[in-house]
Structure 1
Amino acid sequence: MQKLITLITSLFIFTINTAQNKFGNPEVDPIQIQKTYEQWSVYQNKKIMLSRDFTALDVASKEVSKETFLDQLANGNFIPVRLKSDANIYVYKLFKIQPKTDSSIKATINQMGFDAYKNFKMEGTAFPKFSFQDLDGNLVTNEFMKGKIIVIKCWYIHCTPCIREFPQVNKLVEDYKDRKDIVFMSLAEDSPEQLKTFLARKPLAYSVIPNMKEYMNDALQLNSFPTHFIINKEGMILKVLPNFESLEIALAKESKL
């Protein structure tokens, strides 16, 4: 009996090590980056992009679906760490949060996991019914979206991260100016008067649709800003993204298809 237990244990360890060797070792020490909130935050913001396509491993180095991975981040006690790989290959693995780790790290990861899980579940669904006028009086509907890739930025005037992205998203519009099949539009919570005054000082190259707070709350169920959507030519949500960096990568991939 003892030999059987030993054999099973050895096989279990071998399986974990094999999976670990297949995908590489952690690019950082998973325990060390939990020492302070600041240390973890710097790593998280630079290296972990939950909206991208990646291979997901659980705490036992078993490959799992992205949905399962995000669910465990939202409801469990884990941090995600990227494993060493080629620059364009992404493998994220879950590691246990240590007992003495700052509780703010777990709370932040749970919230990030919740948001990423919710966004992921929206992908592949039809964009909600839509019929509104932008600040220039142009009517925008779901029919208008068909046959085009639609890039949508959801924001409001007093959202600092939303405004910080303006130079980057404006450059993105410039980069794709020759692509007539790609349209950039934005949904803003604020009134037309507030937006016109604000945009006179802080121009945005996207078309802007005002008074979208109720639509973003009810139809899109957004609770964090900015949020970006990429809608494919069939009117389906391709990607839901939390920042410009993830938007830029996803749009580059979709525009080449």
Structure 2
Amino acid sequence: MKKQLYTLTLLLAFGSCMAQTKFWKPAVNPSEVQKTYLGWNNYQKSHIMLSTDFVALDAKSNPITKAAFLQELTSGNYIPVALESDKAALYYQLFKIEPTSDTSIKASIAETAFNEIQNYKKEGEPFPAFSFHDLEGNLITNETLKGKIVVIKCWYIHCAACLKEFPEVNQLVANYKDRTDIFFISLAEDTPEQLAPFLVRKPLSYAVVPDMKTYMNLTLQLNAFPTHYIINKEGIIVKVLSDSHSLEVALKKESLIEK
């Protein structure tokens, strides 16, 4: 009787696990999106956000950590593909790179994944102490921003990707204009003399701090631009992100938590 009860318990547990496990299908054909570098690049920019939170699956559909997922991508043997899902969470799975695929895809993914790993390692750490003066002469420090969610954009004038997202980040500032507990600041490599005329032609709604090249390279140890930080009200780095779309998603989540 005890053996039958034990067997029944196992079957129920197994059935429960199976009910909770869902094998989502790829939202696109993994072979199709890697036929050309342009096709892959367009897909990656539109559908893959490695900076954000996501459920990671290996090539056999087994759950793995985000860190392990990114590490596999640095090998240059896999592409990340979004899966169809009726859940709010993002699901990404590893798929083998085809032997006939453009070698630029392999190199691009490996480089992107390496940068994402460096960013991911910073999450959960305190943001380094700082004392900046923006272009308006305002002093900005850890103390003046205490109790606020801080959004930081790292960039420079000649970074095409940094400039391309100006409309998106400006809209983000507008979306949170009523949230006095959220502060937007940008760190730029360039001098005040370079930034002043440039920002007249191409406005940025963030507070702009000039001459930050050494700080970003040595203190923040940035690997790529643009890079965005979200810092919570306790001064802890919540997210380090590589694009404005990922920033929008992550800030929405953090703003709801801290509201």
Mark the runs of 5 or more structure 1 residues left unpaired by the alignment: 1-17
1:226 is aligned to 226
Could you state the TM-score of these two structures normalised by the residue count of structure 2?
Answer: 0.88
Which residues of 2 match residues 200-239 of structure 1 at below 5 A? 200-239=200-239
2:71 is aligned to 71
Q: Deviations over 1:102-149 (max 9, x none)?
A: 110000000110111111111100111211211111111122232100
1:170 is aligned to 170
How far 1:203 sits from its partner (Å)?
1.3
Which residues of 2 match residues 164-203 of structure 1 at below 5 A? 164-203=164-203
1:81 is aligned to 81
C-alpha contact (below 8 Å) 2:76/2:109 kept by paired residues: no
* Cα distance in 2 between the residues matched to 1:87 and 1:226: 30
C-alpha contact (below 8 Å) 1:25/1:84 kept by paired residues: yes
1:122 is aligned to 122
* Secondary structure at 2:42 match in 1: helix
Q: Deviations over 1:2-47 (max 9, x none)?
A: xxxxxxxxxxxxxxxx79x713111112122221111111211111
Alignment of 1:24 with 2:52, yes or no, is: no
C-alpha contact (below 8 Å) 1:232/1:238 kept by paired residues: yes
* Secondary structure at 2:137 match in 1: coil
How far 1:87 sits from its partner (Å)?
6.4
Which residues of 2 match residues 32-181 of structure 1 at below 5 A? 32-86=32-86, 88-181=88-181
* Cα distance in 2 between the residues matched to 1:129 and 1:75: 35
Moved more, 234-243 or 74-83: 74-83
Instruction: Give, as a single letter, the amino acid of the residue that structure 1 aligns with 2:95.
Output: F
Alignment of 1:248 with 2:248, yes or no, is: yes
Instruction: Give, as a single letter, the amino acid of the residue that structure 1 aligns with 2:150.
Output: I
* Cα distance in 1 between the residues matched to 2:87 and 2:189: 38
1:8 is aligned to none
Instruction: Give, as a single letter, the amino acid of the residue that structure 2 aligns with 1:207.
Output: A
* Cα distance in 1 between the residues matched to 2:188 and 2:163: 12
Instruction: Give, as a single letter, the amino acid of the residue that structure 1 aligns with 2:242.
Output: P
**CA 1:40 to 1:87, structure 2 compared with 1: closer, same or farther past 3 Å?**
farther
* Cα distance in 2 between the residues matched to 1:166 and 1:76: 31
How far 1:201 sits from its partner (Å)?
1.4
* Cα distance in 2 between the residues matched to 1:71 and 1:143: 36
C-alpha contact (below 8 Å) 1:51/1:120 kept by paired residues: yes
Q: Give structure 1 regions of 4+ aligned residues with deviation exceeding 4 angstroms.
A: none
C-alpha contact (below 8 Å) 1:131/1:142 kept by paired residues: yes
Identity among equivalent pairs (%): 59
Q: CA RMSD in A?
A: 1.5
* Secondary structure at 1:145 match in 2: coil
Q: Deviations over 1:32-85 (max 9, x none)?
A: 222111111121111111011111011121110001101111234100111111
Instruction: Give, as a single letter, the amino acid of the residue that structure 2 aligns with 1:216.
Output: M
